[in-house]
Amino acid sequence: MRIFQKGFNYSQDGFGNRLVYHLQGCNMKCPWCSNPEGMRWEGVLITEEEWLLDEVCPHHAIRDKQLDRAVCRECKGRECVTEHRTKGIRLSYEEIEVDALVEEIIGNSPMFYDGGGVTFTGGEATLQFDELLETLKRLTAAGIHTAVETNGAHPRLQECFPYISQLIMDCKLCDEEKHRRATSISNAQTMENIRRAAELHPCLHIRVPLIGKVNDSEEDIRDFLEFFQSLRDGNVTFELLSYHEFGKKKWEQCGWEYQMTDAAHVKEETVKKFRDSIRGLGLNYMRT
């Protein structure tokens, strides 16, 4: 499996203390993504200008702490990362076999306190579907609490339900055309999977990343509320996550322009009104 980040986190990616794995690759292209290094399946070279050394590239793609990515695109050897290990340049992901991953997780299980466990997120965790499903099955058999954070767009997501203790799903927009414009793909499968999860999964947490000028209009919020109200609610919790620009530096380190502007910040009063409306419908709001 391709993993671009891993580490412990408390409560934000599931209950308790969790070992969180970020899986490489995503089928959406959200310009506000805070983990852009995980977007492309093929990975990306991440640079830290301060530590970038000319001498790690035999093809002269690095000069004066600047990387010429046009040269890298033609490069077969990638000597900068295959022959060197520096802070200045690295490939976004590392590969690990399912056997080794399961062993690593079980070995860390003494750290899973307060109802914790392991979380798979991304990128989009379900892009590596077969490996993810196999891993979830083995961890469930070992009694490990599992959480998956997903954009919900995989057509076989339901197959994973019996092996996911806590399912965390993003709901970015209810309007299909707007969703396509914002993320590059339709939301039809996501909406269907959220409906199924609300019916079938015992522990579903739905998150809305609230982005100014993308999904914070009165019409968008009305659509969300209508959709949420239509879901079975005893097993479902909801949460709003306001836009932040934590990912900005990472976009630059990947060599990409960060296109979000200040307009993406959502007014606190909009968030509060939306949150109050969710509670007003008798739905369960859960802050993580």
User: How many positions of this chain bind ligand SF4 (CB under 6 A)?
Assistant: 10
Q: Segment contacting ligand SF4 (CB under 6 A): 55-63, 106-114, 202-210, 225-233?
A: 55-63
Q: Are 14 and 168 in contact (CB under 8 A)?
A: yes
Q: Segment contacting ligand SF4 (CB under 6 A): 53-61, 191-199, 209-217, 232-240?
A: 53-61
And the tokens for 173?
């927009």
3-class secondary structure, 91: strand
Q: Tell which one of 9, 10, 34, 59 touches ligand SF4 (CB under 6 A).
A: 59
What span, in angstroms and rounded, lies between the C-alpha atoms of 191 and 127?
18
CB of 259 to ligand SF4, least distance (A): 24
Question: Whose Cβ is closer to ligand SF4: residue 69's or residue 196's?
Answer: 69
What span, in angstroms and rounded, lies between the C-alpha atoms of 9 and 169?
18
Contacts with ligand SF4 in 212-241 (CB under 6 A)?
none
CB of 67 to ligand SF4, least distance (A): 6
Within 13 Å, how many C-alpha atoms sit on residue 200's CB side?
14
Say which residues have a Cβ less than 8 Å from residue 103's Cβ, sequence separation at least 6.
none
Contacts with ligand SF4 in 65-104 (CB under 6 A)?
71-72, 75, 78-80
**If we measure between CA atoms, which residue out of 226, 8, 228, 24 comes closest to residue 125?**
24
Residue with tokens 């709901």: 171
Length reported for the chain: 288
CB of 90 to ligand SF4, least distance (A): 10
Question: Whose Cβ is closer to ligand SF4: residue 57's or residue 164's?
Answer: 57
CB of 80 to ligand SF4, least distance (A): 3
Other beta carbons within 10 Å of 177: 10
Question: Whose Cβ is closer to ligand SF4: residue 71's or residue 100's?
Answer: 71
Question: Whose Cβ is closer to ligand SF4: residue 84's or residue 195's?
Answer: 84
CB of 61 to ligand SF4, least distance (A): 4
Q: Segment contacting ligand SF4 (CB under 6 A): 57-65, 151-159, 242-250, 271-279?
A: 57-65
CB of 41 to ligand SF4, least distance (A): 17
Question: Whose Cβ is closer to ligand SF4: residue 90's or residue 145's?
Answer: 90
Question: Whose Cβ is closer to ligand SF4: residue 81's or residue 106's?
Answer: 81
Name the E strands within 73-226. Answer: 89-91, 94-95, 117-121, 146-150, 166-170, 204-210
CB of 74 to ligand SF4, least distance (A): 8
Instruction: Report if residue 62 touches ligand SF4, rule: CB under 6 A.
Output: yes
Q: Are 187 and 172 in contact (CB under 8 A)?
A: yes
CB of 128 to ligand SF4, least distance (A): 24
Proportion of the chain in helix, strand, coil states, percent, rounded to 5: 40, 20, 40
C-alpha distances (whole Å) from 46 to each of 26, 31, 38, 229, 245 are 17, 18, 11, 42, 18
Residues that bind ligand SF4 (CB under 6 A): 57, 59, 61-62, 71-72, 75, 78-80
